[in-house]
Amino acid sequence: MVFEGKDDLVNNLASRLKGYQWIPYDWRIMVLIDEDRKDCHELKAKLESAAHEAGFRTKSIATSEGNFQVVNRLAIEELEALVGTRKRLGLIADDIIAHFEERLETIDGKGMIVCMSRRICVDLYNAIVKRRPEWHDDDDKNGEIKVVMTGSASDDVSWQPHIRNKARREEIATRFKNPDDSLKLVIVRDMWLTGFDAPSLHTMYVDKPMRGHGLMQAIARVNRVYRDKPGGLIVDYIGLAYHLKQALQNYTTSGGKGDATLNKADAVAVMLEKYEICCGLFHGFDWSPWVTGNAEDRIRLLPSAQEHILAQKDGKERLLQVVTELSKAFALAVPDEKTTEIHNDVAFFQAVRRVTGKSRCNRLGTSRGIEQRLGSVKN
Q: Considering the domain boundaries, does residue 170 fall inside one?
A: yes
Q: Considering the domain boundaries, does residue 219 fall inside one?
A: yes
Percentage of the residues of the chain whose pLDDT score is greater than 90? 35
**Residue 100 and residue 35 share a domain:** no
CA dihedral 331, 278, 340, 245 (to 10 degrees): 30
User: How do residues 229-274 score in pLDDT, each as one tens digit?
Assistant: 777 788 888 766 655 666 656 655 555 554 555 566 777 888 899 9
Q: Which domain holds residue 59?
A: 6-74
**Residue 121 and residue 31 share a domain:** no
User: How do residues 173-190 score in pLDDT, each as one tens digit?
Assistant: 999 999 999 999 999 998
| Structure confidence at residue 196 (pLDDT) | 86
Q: How many domains does the chain have?
A: 3
**Residue 246 and residue 127 share a domain:** yes
Give the pLDDT band (50/70/90) at residue 378.
very low
Q: Considering the domain boundaries, does residue 378 fall inside one?
A: no
**Residue 305 and residue 207 share a domain:** no
pTM above 0.75, yes or no: no
Please state, rounded to an integer, the average pLDDT across all residues of the chain.
Answer: 77
**Residue 197 and residue 176 share a domain:** yes
Residues 6+ apart with CB under 8 A from 135: 128, 129, 143, 144, 145, 185
Give the pLDDT band (50/70/90) at residue 57.
low
- The mean pLDDT value for 276-305 works out to 91
Domain stop point among 50, 74, 98: 74
